[in-house]
């Protein structure tokens, strides 16, 4: 069985400050890892994903996440946040070699303060 | 542009009534999923389908059913609505044959259902 833990339910941060949203996972097999973002009153959309290769993955809007196998983590970071980054962020995991059954974390609400 | 739509966007119903939520995608994706989103639980999988005539139960399937008669649609039916089914429901789709685990899922805008 696989699981995802997002310990922080809410993260307030001032505009232009750095932010880290934490995600830890557990799985007995190799995994694929995802970060999805949900803007208010919208569905989720993919922010970035790790499949294989380089452990550092980047999104087009300045977010990055690093896969750390030894710590079973996939934390999301941005060096300088904008008001438009205010949203809820979900970490998700699937297990390689099987059908796509995605396990989502409980989400972290990022509130960017002007 | 391809998209995934859900209807209605908001629904209020009474306990015991049958309710059907529609999901329609124009991506021509093989795989479709229904989730519910509740505070403190994130998204939980209700049912999923890897193709026409294929349906499978997710982790919270009790009280829900789906059918897949074509590629584009996966309606979700609440057989007898209960207050515990008050939630926001999201439909999603992905491309790969047999539900490749590396796929990106594309989500609809959601349906907010209130059961009184």
Q: Tokens 């074509």 label which residue?
A: B70
Q: Distance between CA A85 and CA A88 in Å, rounded?
A: 9
- DSSP designation for A1: -
Over the stretch B66-78, which tens digit does the pLDDT of each residue have? 999 999 999 999 9
Contacts of B41 in chain A (CB under 8 A): 106
Rounded-to-integer distance, Cα A19 and Cα A63, Å: 10
The per-residue pLDDT for range B39-86, each reduced to its tens digit, is 888 899 999 999 999 999 999 999 999 999 999 999 999 999 999 999
10-residue stretch averages of pLDDT, chain A, 114 residues long: 91 97 90 93 92 89 94 96 96 78 92 96
Quote the longest CA-to-CA distance of chain B. 40
Whether chain A has a CB inside 8 Å of the CB on B25: the answer is: no
DSSP secondary structure string for all residues of A53-64: S-SEEE-TTS-E
Question: What average pLDDT does the segment B89-104 reach?
Answer: 82
Looking at residue B96, its pLDDT comes to 77
Mean pLDDT of all residues belonging to chain A: 92
| Residue B55 in contact with partner chain A when CB distance is under 8 A | no
Other CB atoms within 10 Å distance of the CB of residue B49: 21
Contact yes or no for A32 and B108 at CB 8 A: no
Chain B hits for A36, Cβ within 8 Å:
105, 107
- Among candidates B52, B47, B25, B27, which has minimal Cα distance to B35? B47
Instruction: Check if B1 contacts A (Cβ < 8 Å).
Output: no
- Residue B73: how many CB atoms within 10 A of its CB? 15
**What's the gap in Å between the CA of B23 and the closest CA on chain A?**
13
Cβ atoms of residues A23 and A74 within 8 Å? yes
Residue B98 has pLDDT above 80, yes or no: no
Burial (0-12, 13-18, 19+ Cβ within 10 Å), B10: exposed
| C-alpha pair distances (Å), A85 with each of A8, A14, A38, A61, A113 | 16, 11, 10, 9, 10
């Amino acid at each position: 069985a696989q699981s995802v833990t997002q310990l922080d339910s809410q993260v307030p941060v001032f505009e232009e400050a750095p932010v880290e949203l934490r995600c830890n996972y557990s799985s007995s097999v190799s995994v694929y890892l995802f970060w999805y973002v949900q803007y208010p009153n919208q569905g989720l959309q993919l922010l970035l994903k790790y499949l294989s290769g380089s452990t550092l993955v980047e999104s087009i809007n300045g977010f990055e996440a690093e896969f750390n196998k030894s710590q079973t983590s996939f934390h999301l970071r941005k060096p300088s946040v904008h008001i438009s980054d205010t949203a809820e962020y979900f970490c998700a995991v699937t297990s390689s070699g099987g059908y796509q059954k995605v396990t989502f974390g409980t989400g972290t609400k990022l509130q960017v303060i002007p | 542009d391809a998209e995934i739509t859900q209807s209605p966007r908001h629904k209020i119903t009474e306990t015991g009534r049958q309710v059907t939520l529609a999901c329609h995608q124009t991506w021509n994706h093989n795989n479709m999923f229904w989730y519910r989103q509740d505070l403190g639980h994130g998204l939980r999988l209700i049912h999923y389908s890897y193709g026409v005539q294929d349906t499978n139960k997710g982790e919270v399937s009790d009280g829900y059913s789906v059918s897949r008669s074509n590629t584009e649609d996966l309606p979700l039916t609440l057989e007898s609505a209960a207050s515990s089914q008050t939630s926001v429901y999201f439909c999603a789709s992905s491309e790969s044959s047999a539900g490749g685990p590396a796929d990106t899922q594309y989500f609809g805008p959601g349906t907010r259902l209130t059961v009184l």
